[in-house]
Amino acid sequence: MTELHQIGEIIQSRYRITNILGQGGVGITYAALDAQTGDRVALKALSFRRMNEWKVLELFEREAKVLAQLDHPAIPRYLDFFQIDSDRDRDFYIVQQLVEGKSLAQAIADGWHGSEEDVKKIAEQVLEVLIYLHELKPPVIHRDIKPQNILLQSNLKIALVDFGAVQDTYRSTQVGGSTVVGTYGYMPPEQFRGKAVPATDLYALGATILFLLTGRSPAELPEIKLKLSFRDSVNISTHFADWLDKMIEPAIEDRFSSAKQSLNALQNPILPSLESRINALEIRRSLGLTSDLTTSKYQYPKPLGSRIEIKKTDSSLKVYIPPGGLRGDGISLLSFAVFWNGFLIVWTSLALRAGFFAMLFSIPFWVVGIGMAYLGLSIVFGKVCLVIRDRTFSIDWDVLGIKRHVQGKTQDLRQIELKSSYEVNHQPVMELRLNQGIYVHKFGSGLSRPEKEWLLLEINDFLETWRSHH
């Protein structure tokens, strides 16, 4: 985009251009001196004649509208919006407070290398801004978090700029019906489909942190199944790496569910890693914990009525989960499986009359039906025994006499998580997932929510304590 104004030119009989700050997707930003106040301002200009599509003007006007409603110390203050008509053109302008500093991208280019604590401080500040934006009504989603849009000041304070891609409401968009806005390398998969949610900004922040740690665009890092692989390229603490790992999950449901949850996880390395919809501090309060958060071990009260048995010593943890019984998700899944398989019996009998190939068509549906029935039976009648010792661990499942046994080294275990992989009656069913390298061991889907949260805290606390001694 060519320049609209020259240095020294005066706009609106008020703003004298002093230099160019940058060029974005929807305009040129100048530094200017306000003759009325004597303040330095940022003047973002857009030429109607030079636009190549109406979407550009829509984004520019949306940016002005949203900025006028924002009030946060890390967002440059909105001052004015106006347009100037001439014989050959119509120019639009947004005026904001000018923040002294350089972008993170320029800082890296100039040789800045922040420590892990410096980078964490930057991440915390951006998350504070995102908490503010995402909790507005309606939520404001930036959609273009990247090193070029975060200004770094001399005291390591940051400012978030360029809201040209902002989305101020949830929209159901479709590819072809919506312009994809964002920057390659910092966009999660859903943004390529024209979709943006608060977790979209979290992914972009995670990618930005990767840039600060590696000095390379995330697009240059290797990928494994669509996920950026960065651990071999950085030298940071395990907690920070685990936090970053969750920030850049390709699937929305695997990321932190909110900026507030992400900030809590970043600032509290002692807390266990929780499923994206659970805030660890809220769980502790809801369980009535009395221990100080600075201690390394907690006593978690057992949920009322739970039949789970836990035996915990300094060197071992044994968890026994009895059959769930005819209640909750298990009976719902079994009921649906009975209906499904009953329908398949009638269908298959009719298909047999139609011929062999028609019967083959029923096989995939039978696989689904049998899978649902087994899953329901495992919830209702299944027993699970997890044992973690100083060197080894084992998990045993027993469903109506059908047994399965897994064992391995304790040192290979990562923190347990609470996630969903299927739904019952359109509601996600959460299950505990114990990660062992590339393997994931699932159990506990038939338990109540308080039981799942209690087990998550107990097991992760034991693993945290075990790591601290090894």
Which residues are known catalytic residues? 144
What residues does 227 pair with on adjacent strands? 224
Backbone angles phi, psi at 181, to 5 degrees: -115, 135
Question: With left for phi above 0 and alpha for psi between -120 and 50, is residue 235 left, alpha or beta?
Answer: beta
Residue type, 202: L
Backbone angles phi, psi at 339, to 5 degrees: -60, -45
Q: Where are the beta strands (DSSP E) in 98-147?
A: 102-103
Residue type, 245: D
Rounded-to-integer distance, Cα 416 and Cα 435, Å: 6
Question: In Å, how far from its chain's centre is CA 443?
Answer: 24
Residues 6+ apart with CB under 8 A from 276: 253, 254, 255, 256, 257, 261, 419
Rounded-to-integer distance, Cα 213 and Cα 237, Å: 12
What residues does 413 pair with on adjacent strands? 436
Residue with tokens 């040789």: 111
Select from 321, 307, 286, 294 the least CA-distant residue to 399: 321
The string of DSSP codes covering 250-290 is SSGGGS-SSHHHHHHHHH-TTSPP--TT--HHHHHHHTT--
Backbone angles phi, psi at 111, to 5 degrees: 100, 10
Question: In Å, how far from its chain's centre is CA 3?
Answer: 38
Select from 199, 201, 126, 217 the least CA-distant residue to 165: 201
Rounded-to-integer distance, Cα 367 and Cα 372, Å: 9
Count CA atoms closer than 13 A to 1's CA, side-chain side: 20
Residue spans of alpha helices (H) in 361-433: 363-381
**Cβ(282)–Cβ(450) below 8 Å:** no
Rounded-to-integer distance, Cα 243 and Cα 235, Å: 14
**Cβ(230)–Cβ(244) below 8 Å:** yes
**Cβ(424)–Cβ(445) below 8 Å:** no
